[in-house]
A and B are shown apart, each in its own frame.
Chain A
Amino acid sequence: RKEVEQDPGPFNVPEGATVAFNCTYSNSASQSFFWYRQDCRKEPKLLMSVYSSGNEDGRFTAQLNRASQYISLLIRDSKLSDSATYLCVVNLNYGQNFVFGPGTRLSVLP
């Protein structure tokens, strides 16, 4: 089993739609969780950290379920500019590298 798995995608949604991405991780000792966004031919950039209690940043909501080892990202009122690949990232907090999921590509259509 891969350390971090994500919905295979791609997701093609109309503008204004709500879309949810799922991510699971295999190591129960994982401590830190993030969503990154990567535009075509660009570097990944931090979208938001994911906290145990869940957190929201504008149209974006992240949830963490430690018992199920599951992370989600919800995007409301999708914009054309949300089109990108969304990467789920897990860190074990003992100094090793950040583990990236394969990403889920989103295309928001006019």
Chain B
Amino acid sequence: GAGVSQSPSNKVTEKGKDVELRCDPISGHTALYWYRQSLGQGLEFLIYFQGNSAPDKSGLPSDRFSAERTGGSVSTLTIQRTQQEDSAVYLCASSFGTGKGNTIYFGEGSWLTVV
């Protein structure tokens, strides 16, 4: 596709259930990012993948959160044993990687509601 594609766009889940969110980056982009944004708040960095390098997981809020990126393309963010405070929009973004002028493009997000 032309842009970053995320699914599902909306997910309502019960507290304690696991959820998987998927991101398909722009073709040719080697860097992939996950951010979280709670209602009315700023962007919170979660995790970053660059090519075949080890991901930067420094933003993951707890060990209930994990992400993987298979084949250097599609990524899945998994939240185990969801809690109500996990309710937010999860934004995936991609870029060509490093380099001056490199810019980041976002998907439309996956809106997660934990009830």
Contact = CB atoms under 8 A, between A and B. Distances in A.
A93 B105 contact: no
Q: Interface of chain A, helix or strand or loop or mixed?
A: loop
Interface string A39-72: 0011111100100000000000000000000000
Interface stretch (B21-29, B43-51, B71-79): B43-51
A100 B41 CA distance: 12
A96 B56 contact: yes
B103 A46 contact: yes
Contacts of A31: 100
Interface residues of B, number: 28
Interface string A87-101: 101010111111111
Contacts, number: 54
Contacts of B103: 34, 46, 49
B112 interface: no
- Interface centre among A41, A91, A93, A97, by most B CB within 10 Å? A97
B33 interface: yes
B91 interface: yes
A43 B101 contact: no
Interface string B102-113: 111111110000
Interface of A: 31-32, 34, 41-46, 49, 87, 89, 91, 93-103
In order of increasing CB-CB distance, the 7 nearest A-B pairs are: A43-B106, A102-B42, A100-B43, A95-B98, A97-B48, A98-B104, A97-B45
23 contacts: A31-B100, A32-B101, A42-B108, A43-B108, A44-B91, A45-B106, A46-B105, A49-B101, A49-B103, A87-B42, A87-B43, A89-B104, A95-B50, A95-B53, A95-B98, A97-B45, A97-B48, A97-B56, A98-B93, A99-B45, A100-B43, A100-B45, A103-B42
